Every structure is written in C-alpha cells, then in structure tokens.
C-alpha cells in the first residue's frame, strides 16, 4: 500500500488548484480525523493513521469540479497511484449511501466520512449543526436518512466520548 505523506497531499492539492478555503476545510477534517484515530485506539480499534490523514486531506480535491466531486476525486486519486486513499475519497459523501460501493465500511473510511460531517468550513461543529448547514447550502430538505447514518457512525466510533 502506497500512501502519500501529508506534505505530498498538500502538494497534490496545490497542483490541482484547490482553493484556499477548501484546503482550510480539508486540513481541519484531517486534524479532527487524527483526534478520532487517537480516541478509537484507546477503545482498542486500530486504524491506519497515515491512510486517514491522506484520505482526509484529499477527500475534496475535486469539490469544485463539474459533476460529482466524490467520483471525480476518487478517480483522480486512483490515477495518481493511491487506490486505498481513493476508496476513502469515494466513500466520504452523503448522496450515494443507497449504493453499497459508496458506503464507508473500514475504520479509516468511517473516520474520514464522520470527520467531514463534523467540520463546517474549517471549524468543528456538532453533526446536527453540520446537517443544518448542508440543508441550507445545498437546498436539500430531506437528509434524515443521511443524518441517522452519520449518527450511527458517530456512536460506533466514539461510543459515549465527545470530540470538539
């Protein structure tokens, strides 16, 4: 398994002209993801920290691309030679959860998915706050199924712990 370093991921973002606000978001998702990795480790769950860092940093690499940024981003990351990271990118979104190939399954996929749902812009917020923003930003009223799914992952990852 080849995983790009944090520095290599930041270089990839720069080479792909990812705007500063999205870079700030993915860095915040990365920092939050590392907190989750540390917390789950205390609970006896082993997650590959380097893979989580790379997935968190690259998950929105194609956020502004026409079409589906989840698919576009995962294809780009795969083409760069990082298929495991591409899997995290492919499984971080909300709008394909009815298709098995997009549902986060590994600990690393779940951590990046969850961390992304806790960061609005570059600040940690509750899952409820993030979903309120998603409803307003994307004009999507019916996100109850996605919200429930995210809260189930939150419980699975954190148990009764809290991260801010």
Beta strands at 119-120 and 123-124: parallel, antiparallel or unpaired: antiparallel
Establish if 78 belongs to a structural domain: yes
**pLDDT score of 6 more than 70:** yes
Interhelix angle 49-58/83-90, rounded to 10 degrees, is: 60
CATH number, domain with residue 70: 1.10.3210
**pTM, two decimal places:** 0.95
Is the residue at 163 inside a domain? no
- On average, the pLDDT of the chain sits at 94
Domain containing 100: what range?
A: 6-158
User: pLDDT digit string (tens) for 34-65?
Assistant: 999 999 999 999 999 999 999 999 999 999 98
Is residue 84 one of the residues assigned to a domain?
yes
Give tens-digit pLDDT for 110-155.
999 999 999 999 999 999 999 998 888 776 767 888 999 999 999 9
DSSP class of residue 94?
S
Is there a domain that residue 1 lies in? no
> How many separate domains does the chain show?
1
Q: Does some domain include residue 43?
A: yes
């Amino acid at each position: 398994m080849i995983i790009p370093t944090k520095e290599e991921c930041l270089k990839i973002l720069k080479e792909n002209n990812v705007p500063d606000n999205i870079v700030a978001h993915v860095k915040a998702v990365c920092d939050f993801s590392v907190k989750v990795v540390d917390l789950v480790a205390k609970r006896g769950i082993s997650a590959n920290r380097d893979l989580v860092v790379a997935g968190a940093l690259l998950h929105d690499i194609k956020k502004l691309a026409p079409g589906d940024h989840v698919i576009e981003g995962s294809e780009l990351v795969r083409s760069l030679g990082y298929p495991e990271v591409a899997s995290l990118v492919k499984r971080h979104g909300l709008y394909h959860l009815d298709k098995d190939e997009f549902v986060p399954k590994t600990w690393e996929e779940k951590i990046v998915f969850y961390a992304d749902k806790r960061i609005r812009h570059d600040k940690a917020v509750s899952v409820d706050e993030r979903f309120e923003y998603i409803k307003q930003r994307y004009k999507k009223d019916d996100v109850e199924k996605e919200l429930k799914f995210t809260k189930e992952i939150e419980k699975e990852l954190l148990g009764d712990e809290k991260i801010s």
